[in-house]
Structure 1
Amino acid sequence: MEFSQSDNNNLPLTKFESMLKTNHVLFFDSEEFENIIHHYLNQGKIALAKKAIKLGLAQHPTSINLRLFKVEIHVFENNLDEADKLLNDLYLIEPHNEEIFIQKANILSKKDNHIKAIEVLKHTLDLTDDLVDIYSLIGMEYLFIDEFENAKTYFKKCLEEDIDDYSALYNVIYCFDYLEQNQAATDYLNTFLDKNPYCEVAWHQLGKQYVTLELYKKALAAFDFAIISDDTFVGAYLERGKVLEKLGEYLQAIESYNLTLRLDDPTAFALLRIGHCYEKLGNLDVAVQYYYKTVEEDPQLDKGWIAITRFYKKEKNYQKALYYINKAINIDSENVHYWKLYSQINQRLNHFEEAERGYKKTLELGNFEIDTWIARGDLLLKLGEPEAALFNFEQALEFFPENAEIEYRLAGLNFTLNQNTKGLFYLKNGLRNNRDYSFIIDELFPDFANSDQVKTLLKTTS
């Protein structure tokens, strides 16, 4: 029994707290102590719970339940050996007490001995009438050791005992998802819904499985049924909006997202999606208004700043785009796509040093796309750093061997640095791999394009 603020059940709690203030020891029966301790544990008031346990055991030294609370405190404070010792003593007194075995399994789990914990919990099944909690604990232990099939089995058992155990339902679907058994998940959910046709959570999960399988019409129907089951289910409206977007039904998607704004506090996600829908419909002025509403609602949502950045980039307002891409990078400085966008915008503004820095950061973060290497190398050449450009393209060639675009650049750079033998080597390779890109020499290295040696080579290989 938990204490509430609105009835007389909290009288023992008031009496207990009054006792602590006056230091006058009052008597409580063991059940009252149990309720007081339970209340403090739920409130996270561990120090008060420990005081109640100490006083409770002073008045009721033989109470198994109070001693089990002491075990719980030991486990919470990671005094696992103390907890284990106390449990062993309790086992000698009450060898069939299910709570002793549950706590024993908890200790084993904290020691990462999950297999043994599962054995103890399975033994507990013979001692308890509350099978659901034990099935759930077994399922969680199997999750800890990545045995998803076994975990799934026990979470299903939870639902067989209690069809309204939504936590177990989520865990079953988590297992299906991890195992990439999306079709099996839809089969299970459809069977579950035959027994519980108004379960909005199951319809919602079924819709998400259909989305994964790219069965968008079926997904839409599932989300509609979730809403029929609970017309205040915000998550179903959001998922419905996402599916409508995929189907190109942007006005209906906007309607679905707007319903979430009316049902609950505005979410940055819904505002952002509405903005995207308006942009798809070509209503750019309204779109950008929603992007601004997104970042007002959640200034830490980098996707909102990126949406504004892309909007101004399309509008060729690169100065504003640069301002907003910097905001996104300040939130997520490890996102390669943001750095690449940063470089492209700076390049448009002729901020070549900043653009090169952005491409360098993009490469450092593991984005080794060929256009990143080429853009950075060309910028280094423009900035008068041929040695750095040469090193950049030599690295690029390791990722893209026999790539003519890189080889022509290496040829020109080697000529620039008076390494003519290497220059001829790369030029010949470039001509052999793809002659169509030979214009790179003309565009980036015109001085060498007109040299007799290069002209002769181009003629003899034509």
Structure 2
Amino acid sequence: MDYDEPETVTTWINRADILLLQMEYRESLEAIEKALLIEPKNSEIWFKKGIVLIYLKRLEEALKAFSKAIEIDPENVDIWNNKGYVLFYLKRYEEALEAYEEAIKIDPENVRTWINKGCILEDLRRYEKALEAFDKAIEIDPENKEILASKGKILLSLKKFEEFLNVIEKQTEIEPRNVNLHLQKGIILSTLKRYNEAFEVFDEATKIDSENVTVWLYKGNFLYEFKRYKEALEAFDKAIEIDPENADARIHRGNVLFYLKRYKESLEAYGKVIETEPENINAWIYKGSVLSHIKKFDESLTAYIKVIEIEPENVDAWFNKGNILNELKRYKEALEAFDELLLIEPENAKAWFNKGYALIYLERYKEALEAFDKVILIEPENAGAWFKRGTVLIFLRRREEALKAFSKAIEIDPENVDVWINKGYVLFELKKYEEALEAYEKAIKIDPDNLVPLTNKGSALIDLKRYEEALEVIDKSIEINPEIVDNWLQRGIVLIYLRRCEEALEAYEKAIRIEPENSKAWVNKGAILDNLERYNEALEAVEKVTKIEPENAKAWVNKGHVLIHLKEYNKALEDFNKAIEIDPENEDVWSKKGNALYYLKRYEDALEAFDKAISIEPKNADLWLKRGNILKNLKRCKEALEAYRKVNEIEPENIDAWINKERILLSMGGEYKGYSEAREKIITIEPKKVNDWINKAWILWTWREYEKSLEAYKKAIEIDPENVDAWINKGNLLTYLGIYSRALKAYDEVIAFSPKNTRAWISKGVALYFAKEYTECLQVLEQALNLSPQDAEISYILAEYYLMFGDLINASKYAENALLIDKKNDASLCIKGKIKIEEHDYATSMEYFKKAISVNLRNPRYLLWHSYAKYLMAESELASDEKKYQDMILAIIRELEKVDIYYSQKYSTNIKIVPRRLKILGIYLLKLIKKIAIYFDMSEKSTVKLVEKINPLLTKLERSTITAYNYYFLGCFYYKINDYFTAIDYLKKCKSLTPDKKIEKLASDTLDNIWNSKIRPSIWKWWLYSPTNRFFKGVTFIILTLSLIGLLLPAQIGELFASSFFSAIDWKENTTQLTFLTLILLFILSSPNIQHFKGSQFEIEVRPPPTFELTPSLIEKQLKDLEYALKP
């Protein structure tokens, strides 16, 4: 600068302009200040000062400068425009608008003023006013690109796309080769869904500037958005060709390759970016996304961690990291990631949503609920959040609230299938079954090919036992996709319920063909084969499961279960032990092991197994039931009863426990009240079960509660008016009670609805016999035989009755008929033997009895009859030959002793008296076996076992009855061979077994005769050691002896007892009477010897010889009477 130049205004202004151009703003301002000192009223200088102050950002001073300039020159448009500009930046918008308005008044055609006004109105969001301003500016200067751009910007903000396109058209007319304008036009056309035009525009842009990377990127993105991936790839490849280092192009290329499922190339594209730009966040994020998609979660996680290292507050990275950790089931770490994100963005709804998802899997349901509630607070119309809220509420068992949540989700998004499915589930749980099915129907309607609602609907129908409908739904699922294994499995289950087992098996076979290693299919196949008793095939199936899942305890249990059915108990035990190794705390495994040990009769070990199972699951009623059953087998009845009590404590309606409890109480011979209560409970549980009422009647009968028993039979008949057992048993009870007319009516009822029922005819015949209607009795029994001509039992009964009536011809005829039907019918052989006795053909009689014995060695009655026939033969043919007679009697004795030996060998216990109640109970239980076996569908072997359990009681009955008579017979025969002391032993044994009164009297008479006439003991022995009435005789002897001493020694007795009876008597005055009394006492004491007189030449027996009744008919009668008394 030339400092010698004179300091004029012009000089200073020129100097200020130069300094301004040189951006020496302070120096420029100093020069302007110098000019103002010379001309302070110069508006141009004040204007320039305002401009410099703007550059110095001293806006308030600039405003003052412009205001001063306006004071000097108020008509200067530029000054007003610049004042408006400063006011705008000072956010004094209204004043700025006033300034522009003033400028417009001065010069309405000034384009800059209208532009400035439009810009400030745009910033004030007064878009319509702004558009008016820009339209005015365009009117003044139609080719002004700045104005058109500003107007277009506002139109975009107002989403006036069509008008924006008009503006763009105008701009492209002005600048036809401006690719940016083409790109903007293409985007808007795409927004207006005018895709073909948009594509043409993008294509045109590439033709205008084929080397412009941005153009190719826009074209590629457009094609990418419309899934024209191959064309998009070509566009991005072109961009990379132009600029190989362009990161955006390579990232977009990677994205397209991802959608083309060319994952490896996609990762290579991102990798190329990362090689050149290691901190390119987008490349790392997209790489992580692809790795996540191809399930490389660990590598994906590494990518997101890298993003976080580069940019610690990158929300997307934290979000994706949390999602990957959820996928890896590292839920706690996932929570930490979402919590970090929420520190950055507390209102991020997606983060709260996925945090809730992680909390669900951590079973922290209350916190999960809080998370979804937070999502709803941020986004009240977020259907997914309402859906998840409902899901969490299901876990919390707050089903009514869950239902409301699902309803809200449906209100927001009524076409969401998953919500309808879950709503259906909740409705089903709330027992609103029809509404649940409607919900599933809605889901199916929305998405007919979605198998989930179809499957759920099928499951619901199964639970409702609507199996046919369920099958239709499942078949629909299979029609949609026949290759889904679960549908075939579900079909199999329904078919099992429908008892279409072969079809069910086909369903499981289909499932296995689809998925040969599907363990569920093999398990179900094994179960149904097991149910069909095709055990070897079932074993193959369950063995397959153990190979597929060798560590699955249930698989080994199933195998063991099948082996039990194959009776391979030891092998089953090995499998159960294997299952226990895998899962030692599984109560079912221990239970199954207990079953195997039970079958092996290792009851104590089985008990330990069930005790272990109970320690794991103490509330399992079935385990307690099995424990009770084992204790019952171990005869630990009280413990068994306690186990059954525990069952009923857990399951009061468990009928098996009550039945077993009843059986134990019966076997223990307990009080009527105990098992009557059990029977009542059984009937309460199953009041319409006829057999329970019949069994109740049985019990009441055995306890002589006859009226109640009849009432029970009446109830059974009310339930089933044509129940044969109820009517016949009722008739039998009435026969027993001697109410024959009513009994006959009962049998006639059966005959009316079942005229060919031989049981009814036989029972009627028996009733007629007891009613002494013998002719009709025989007619009825013959009618029974006509109905069942091959029934040997009927022929036998007729033979027996005819024998009792003395009709030997008919008796023989029917006995022969029975033997024609069954030549080994031992009862009929015995009848033939009895007939031959009546015919005095003892040798033939003995042959028949021998045959009966050979057929049934277990029946000692035949041996008794054989001995009797032999005795009769001895009496009739050997009476004259003493030696042969004695030998025959000895042979008979040896034969009779075989009866005792038979019992002694078979049963180690001594003979004990069997109370009548136990006798009744034994016969009752035996007769109940068949019904129990049928009721519980027991096998023949199980039935035999049950008989074996009851037989000891019945054997005691048989033994005590038959043995008593056997002892009597032995006593008699020993008497006959003069072995009196042995005779006494057997007769005393006979009496000890409480036989009937007749035989007891016979035994007593024989004992007295032996004692008095054969042994003839001394007086004192007779009184004190008598085999009969010993206690009474001993007491009598003592009283008589003491009385005699008192009479003979009154003085001494009087001294001993001063106030006694003896001291009160005047002995001298009553000598005659006392002498007479003494003689009487002596006579009584010596009376046993008076029965027998013996001299040198004679011997007189005052007492007659005993009466012997040696026929086994005595036995037959008592046993038959007893059995009939108990027999319905």
Identify whether the pair has TM-score above 0.5, normalized to the shorter chain.
yes
Question: Which string of whole-angstrom CA distances, capped at 9 and with x for unpartnered residues, describes residues 155-186 of structure 1?
Answer: 34324433575664554344234323333221
Matched letter for residue 305 of structure 1: W
- Structure 2 counterpart of 1:338, from 319, 338, 351: 351
- Structure 2 counterpart of 1:437, from 452, 460, 465: 460
Aligned equivalents of 1:411 and 1:286: distance in 2?
Answer: 43
- Structure 2 counterpart of 1:368, from 363, 383, 390: 383
Tell me if 1:13 matches 2:25. Answer: yes
Following TM superposition, by how much is the alpha carbon of 1:17 offset from its aligned partner in structure 2, in angstroms? 5.6
Bigger CA drift: 213-222 or 90-99?
90-99
Matched letter for residue 437 of structure 1: A
Partner of 2:360: 347
Following TM superposition, by how much is the alpha carbon of 1:133 offset from its aligned partner in structure 2, in angstroms? 0.9
- Structure 1 counterpart of 2:395, from 364, 370, 379: 379
- Structure 2 counterpart of 1:321, from 334, 352, 360: 334
CA contact (8 A) 1:405 1:437 kept: no
Partner of 1:459: none
Distance verdict in 2 for CA 1:164–1:343, change over 3 Å: same
Following TM superposition, by how much is the alpha carbon of 1:121 offset from its aligned partner in structure 2, in angstroms? 3.0
Bigger CA drift: 96-105 or 106-115?
106-115
CA contact (8 A) 2:387 2:406 kept: no
CA contact (8 A) 1:211 1:243 kept: yes
CA contact (8 A) 1:75 1:83 kept: yes
How many residues get paired?
419
Aligned equivalents of 2:297 and 2:27: distance in 1?
Answer: 64
Q: Which runs of 5+ in 2 are unaligned?
A: 1-18, 441-456, 466-650, 654-1128
Question: Which string of whole-angstrom CA distances, capped at 9 and with x for unpartnered residues, describes residues 218-260 of structure 1?
Answer: 1122222233444454333332222122223334333433444
Tell me if 1:393 matches 2:403. Answer: yes
Q: Output aligned runs, 1:217-366, within 5 Å.
A: 217-261=230-274, 266-280=279-293, 284-362=297-375, 365=379, 366=381
Tell me if 1:64 matches 2:74. Answer: no
Partner of 2:87: 74
Q: Which runs of 5+ in 1 are unaligned?
A: 1-6, 382-387, 414-422, 443-449, 453-462
Aligned equivalents of 1:50 and 1:255: distance in 2?
Answer: 59
CA contact (8 A) 2:76 2:106 kept: no
Q: Output aligned runs, 1:118-133, within 5 Å.
A: 118-125=131-138, 127-128=140-141, 131-133=144-146
Bigger CA drift: 243-252 or 125-134?
125-134
Identity percentage of aligned residues: 18
Aligned equivalents of 2:20 and 2:275: distance in 1?
Answer: 38
Bigger CA drift: 309-318 or 145-154?
309-318
Following TM superposition, by how much is the alpha carbon of 1:9 offset from its aligned partner in structure 2, in angstroms? 3.1
Matched letter for residue 460 of structure 2: Y
Following TM superposition, by how much is the alpha carbon of 1:132 offset from its aligned partner in structure 2, in angstroms? 0.8
Higher relative contact order (CA 8 A, sep 6+): 1
Partner of 1:206: 219
CA contact (8 A) 2:428 2:460 kept: no
Matched letter for residue 243 of structure 1: V
Following TM superposition, by how much is the alpha carbon of 1:292 offset from its aligned partner in structure 2, in angstroms? 0.6
Matched letter for residue 103 of structure 1: N
Tell me if 1:36 matches 2:52. Answer: yes
Partner of 1:460: none
Distance verdict in 2 for CA 1:235–1:21, change over 3 Å: farther
Aligned equivalents of 1:280 and 1:26: distance in 2?
Answer: 79
Q: Output aligned runs, 1:382-421, within 5 Å.
A: 388-397=398-407, 406=423, 409-410=426-427, 412-413=429-430
Partner of 1:3: none
Matched letter for residue 217 of structure 2: H
Following TM superposition, by how much is the alpha carbon of 1:209 offset from its aligned partner in structure 2, in angstroms? 1.0
CA contact (8 A) 2:291 2:300 kept: yes
Following TM superposition, by how much is the alpha carbon of 1:358 offset from its aligned partner in structure 2, in angstroms? 3.1
Partner of 1:427: 433
CA contact (8 A) 2:251 2:269 kept: yes
Matched letter for residue 9 of structure 1: L
Bigger CA drift: 266-275 or 210-219?
266-275
Distance verdict in 2 for CA 1:118–1:317, change over 3 Å: closer
RMSD in angstroms over aligned alpha carbons? 4.3
Question: Which string of whole-angstrom CA distances, capped at 9 and with x for unpartnered residues, describes residues 317-342 of structure 1?
Answer: 23222222322344445555433432
Q: TM-score, normalised by structure 2?
A: 0.33
Aligned equivalents of 2:65 and 2:229: distance in 1?
Answer: 56
Aligned equivalents of 1:404 and 1:149: distance in 2?
Answer: 44
Distance verdict in 2 for CA 1:244–1:223, change over 3 Å: same
Following TM superposition, by how much is the alpha carbon of 1:212 offset from its aligned partner in structure 2, in angstroms? 1.4
Following TM superposition, by how much is the alpha carbon of 1:295 offset from its aligned partner in structure 2, in angstroms? 1.2
CA contact (8 A) 1:272 1:294 kept: yes
- Structure 2 counterpart of 1:103, from 116, 129, 132: 116
Aligned equivalents of 2:348 and 2:94: distance in 1?
Answer: 45
Aligned equivalents of 2:58 and 2:125: distance in 1?
Answer: 27
Following TM superposition, by how much is the alpha carbon of 1:189 offset from its aligned partner in structure 2, in angstroms? 1.7
Distance verdict in 2 for CA 1:9–1:404, change over 3 Å: closer
Distance verdict in 2 for CA 1:317–1:73, change over 3 Å: same
Aligned equivalents of 1:26 and 1:238: distance in 2?
Answer: 65
CA contact (8 A) 2:127 2:154 kept: yes
Following TM superposition, by how much is the alpha carbon of 1:211 offset from its aligned partner in structure 2, in angstroms? 1.1
Aligned equivalents of 2:422 and 2:128: distance in 1?
Answer: 57
Aligned equivalents of 1:230 and 1:330: distance in 2?
Answer: 40
Aligned equivalents of 2:178 and 2:38: distance in 1?
Answer: 41
Aligned equivalents of 2:132 and 2:286: distance in 1?
Answer: 48
Aligned equivalents of 1:39 and 1:406: distance in 2?
Answer: 68
Matched letter for residue 149 of structure 1: E
CA contact (8 A) 1:207 1:220 kept: yes
Following TM superposition, by how much is the alpha carbon of 1:451 offset from its aligned partner in structure 2, in angstroms? 12
Following TM superposition, by how much is the alpha carbon of 1:345 offset from its aligned partner in structure 2, in angstroms? 2.3
Tell me if 1:190 matches 2:203. Answer: yes
Distance verdict in 2 for CA 1:357–1:289, change over 3 Å: same
Question: Which string of whole-angstrom CA distances, capped at 9 and with x for unpartnered residues, describes residues 334-374 of structure 1?
Answer: 55543343233223333232233334445554443586255
SS at match of 2:81: helix
SS at match of 1:70: helix
SS at match of 2:396: helix
Q: If you compute each CA radius of gyration, which structure gives the higher value, 1 or 2?
A: 2
Bigger CA drift: 366-375 or 69-78?
366-375
Question: Which string of whole-angstrom CA distances, capped at 9 and with x for unpartnered residues, describes residues 268-325 of structure 1?
Answer: 2221112233445565544322211111222222321232223333333232222223
Aligned equivalents of 1:65 and 1:189: distance in 2?
Answer: 42
Following TM superposition, by how much is the alpha carbon of 1:82 offset from its aligned partner in structure 2, in angstroms? 3.8
SS at match of 2:26: helix
Aligned equivalents of 2:23 and 2:376: distance in 1?
Answer: 66
CA contact (8 A) 1:408 1:427 kept: no
Partner of 2:149: 136
Aligned equivalents of 2:144 and 2:78: distance in 1?
Answer: 20
